[in-house]
Amino acid sequence: MSQSRLLGFDLCPRLAHLRDRRLHVPRWHDVPPELAAVTDDDIRLTLIEPAWDELVRIAASVQSGQCTAVQALTRFGAAARGQPVYEAGVHLGRLFRTIFLIDYFTIPAFRHEMQHVLNRGEAVHVVQRAIHHGKIPVELTRHDASLAAVSSALTLLANALMAWNTVYL
């Protein structure tokens, strides 16, 4: 979540078990008594600050095309546990998720729009799964260009089906 914000967009996932989610704040931060039961003061700003330049560098590398998002996640994701940049990303991500949760629970229009967009995206995936039944042949998964062609063809068919439904409904 932290890298998506650094890249300039919000990652707004459908979070499971919202009742069990906790709000994360920096250590020794004053928390209102009403929120104390759902708040953890476990964010260590001292981990984020020294690794900030590295986090921005990773985001700039992805944005400029020097590496793909998948390569960055592979290199700095769970396999990088214990490294300062990983720990900084985890703590920064918790802060951004806390902001997202606060917006989700306190702004009804945001919550409604979020549900609407997620439901629409899931409906598109259902259509795409109905169009493409089976596995992609192994020889097509070996090259990025062939995977992009398969993905583009599936998207084109799904869009054509949705356009046809729109016209004839």
Residues 46 and 32 in one domain: yes
Instruction: Write out pLDDT tens, residues 53-88.
Output: 999 998 898 888 888 888 888 888 777 788 888 899
Residues 72 and 142 in one domain: no
Mean pLDDT value across residues 32-36: 88
Residues 48 and 68 in one domain: yes
Q: Provide the number of structural domains found in the chain.
A: 2
In 10 A of CB 64, how many CB atoms?
8
Residues 99 and 126 in one domain: no
Residues 6 and 84 in one domain: yes
Are the CB atoms for 43 and 27 separated by under 8 Å? yes
Residues 72 and 123 in one domain: no
Stretch (H or E) spanning 85? helix 84-106
Following DSSP, what letter does each residue of 89-137 receive, concatenated?
A: HHHHHHHHHHHHHHHHHH-HHHHHHHHHHHHHHHHHHHHHHHHS-S---
What is the predicted pLDDT for the residue at 1?
61
- Based on the number of CB atoms within 10 Å of its own CB, is 51 exposed (0-12), middle (13-18) or buried (19 or more)? buried
Task: Decide if pLDDT at 11 tops 70.
Answer: yes
Residues 81 and 64 in one domain: yes
Enclosing domain of residue 133: 109-169
- C-alpha distances (whole Å) from 86 to each of 43, 94, 97 are 14, 12, 16
Mean pLDDT value across residues 142-148: 80
Task: Name the pTM for this structure.
Answer: 0.71
Residues 98 and 114 in one domain: no
What is the predicted pLDDT for the residue at 106?
92
* Token output for 116: 């609407």
Q: How confident is the model at residue 108 (pLDDT cuts 50, 70, 90)?
A: very high
Cα–Cα distance between 50 and 54 in angstroms, integer?
8
